[in-house]
A and B are shown apart, each in its own frame.
Chain A
Amino acid sequence: MTKEATLEPELSHPMEELLRMDRIPHIWCPTCGLGTVVTAFASAIQKLEIGLDDIAVVSGIGCTGRVAGYVKIDSFHTTHGRAIPFATGLHLANPKLKTVVISGDGDLISIGGNHFIHAARRNIDLTVICVNNFIYAMTGGQVAPTTPLTANASTMPYGNFEQPFSIPYLADSCGAVYVARWSALHVRRLVTAIAEAIAKPGFSVVEVISPCSTLYSRRNRLGTGLDLMRFYHDNCEIKHGADTRELEIKFQEKITVGKFIDRDRPTFVQSMNNWYGKVFGDEYEPYEGAVE
């Protein structure tokens, strides 16, 4: 029985000022965690009191990539895998802008993996929020470089035999200055981590383990997104400062979450200014951006 009236509360939802409400409801499936990640990101902006003109979001392609279309701040939905190079250009033209990449595990670590490792190596001042649902969701559940061993994917119908990347280990070894992992259920910690990552100068990575109910969960008979949330609740172990070599995610086994890396290293722009300052002395005018 469906009732007809559609009444809105007198007050509007606090997220509405940060979302393009004309595009809501979003395309994400029931019990998908992506909407929760958007709330966490928007709450981090509110927490930091960043002006909405002082931050930009760049996404690649995928279910996660759709985030760029829903946030009411300057954003760009790039081609597949190219969120980081686009964001690098945006940041270098205007280093004062907070530039945040929000994209999927496939987009950032597979086709975009090369950009990820070099942006980390160069310590480009970006914040990367990588939503890891262990799969290429948008295209039908193909294996990703993050799919746990033995998990089923449409291109691994007998289970995955490829060793996956651990995103925090990859980010750490390539030189990221801030690395954290949380699940979509740890939403308050996630807000803090995203806020810390945005505030941190340099290449910061926040991995978010998030339920894909329609593909990952269904292919692996894990139930709905709520069942995955329950799994995170029972199996995530908080271990700040954990050795990133020990963060592999095994299929339906315990997941270590926490803040693993928080260190200081000159950013790309700082290194350039320091070096050219040394080489050219007073003749060199430190670069602060090309945009007024």
Chain B
Amino acid sequence: MSSLADHGGPIGAVSDGAATIEELGGSRRATPLDRVQRSLHAHPALGPFLVLACSSLIFYALNGRFLASENVSLMLQQVAVIAALGVGQTLIILTAGIDLSIGAAMILAQLFMAQLAANDHWAALPALLLGCVVGIGTGALNGTLVTRFRVPPFIATLGTLSILTSSGLLYSQGQTTQASQMPGLLNWTGNLVKIGPFNLINGVLVVFVLYLAVNYLLTQTRWGRHVYAVGDDLEAARLAGIRTRLVLFSVYAFAGLIVGIAAWVSIGYTGAASPNNAVDANLQSITAVVIGGTSLFGGRGGVFGTLFGALIVVVFTSGLTLANVNDLYQPIAEGVLVIAAVGVDQWIRRVKA
């Protein structure tokens, strides 16, 4: 957002000039600000990308180690879990919904994977698949509440947040399972892999593939179109002959599958499955989506914006630490970014024809 604010001054002055011309009866011309508004409107991921690029450069200028390959590798590993959950959250927010339970669902799925494999001696693949089924189940539960019982998504997922959190604690009896107790497949996502100068974990690659796949679904398939149409104007989509309930339900269920994948990545990244893992993940995934330019009103945005949004948060955390700024400024920066992103979204939505 800082880049936009920087340009705000001079551009604002130009548009003021245009306004006076208008008052004198001159014809309305597109000001540079209008053009910025229009291109952000057409490309919702553009704003977050610019913020990411500018903030990275600034942090690099403050401390050269910021863009060193070790630090970039570390940031990519740190972002993986939230970025994965962000994909599911993006789908739901695109339908003008929200999922407050997504992190709790991930913890539950990962506890199932870990305990079935470590305590109940299931083979790795069935344990992994059952964890994914648990994820899909949580999504289907939210989807049923939203589509069949017409509970607003905020309330439905607030309820399932409590239910899933406690279920996880009950099921695991508060115990943490170390990755070393699990079969190799379950913590395969934590294995190191070297890509060029970067030392990554397999989980990062899984998440990257996830982004490519969901981006394809959203932009190149019928289902993706219908997701946008349903989020944009539910009644119009229904009148145009879209099975809106089915689309909505499928979005929640599919987000549940992504929860399962995120659980797998999380086991690898943290090297354990614990009911106290990633308790902030619910809100962090929403933060990533919102900073990523997807509109809370639905119908506008996409997954790559969310990737940038998740990266921005990690970049600020790392960059501020490397710049020797007190840790407490990091949440402040994050809060400012979220509010600024929603403000920019409101402004973009008023785009003129």
Chain B associates with chain A: no
Residues of B within 8 A of A (CB): none
